[in-house]
Amino acid sequence: MVSDEYGFFIDPQRCIGCRSCVGACAECGTHKGRPMIHLDEMDRLESPQTAPTVCMHCEDPICAQVCPADAIKRSEDGVVHSSQKPRCIGCQNCELSCPFGVPIVFSGLEQMLKCDLCYDRTSEGLRPMCATVCPSQALLYAPKAVVEQMRRARPVRDFTVGELAVRTRTAVMVPDPETPLHLDAALLIEGGLE
Nearer to another protein, 13 or 123 (CB): 13
Say whether residue 152 binds another protein (CB under 8 A).
yes
Measured from the CB of residue 82, what is the shortest distance to another protein in angstroms? Answer: 16
Q: What is the dihedral of CA 141, 145, 149, 151, to 10 degrees?
A: 20
Say whether residue 125 binds another protein (CB under 8 A).
no
1, 145, 146, 150: which one binds another protein (CB under 8 A): 150
Measured from the CB of residue 114, what is the shortest distance to another protein in angstroms? Answer: 18
CB atoms within 10 A of CB 95: 17
8, 20, 88, 117: which one binds another protein (CB under 8 A): 20
Could you tell me how many residues of this chain bind another protein (CB under 8 A)?
A: 48
**8 Å CB contact between 175 and 12:** no
Provide the 8-state DSSP code for 78. Answer: S
Q: How far apart (Å, rounded) are the C-alpha atoms in residues 86 and 71?
A: 8
Q: Which of residues 28-87 bind another protein (CB under 8 A)?
A: 29, 32-33, 44-50
Q: Do β-strands 164-174 and 154-161 pair in parallel, antiparallel, or remain unpaired?
A: antiparallel
Task: For residue 64, report the phi and psi dihedrals to the nearest 5 degrees.
Answer: -75, -35
Site residues, another protein (CB under 8 A) = 13-20, 22-24, 26-27, 29, 32-33, 44-50, 127, 129, 132-137, 150-152, 175, 179-186, 188-191, 193
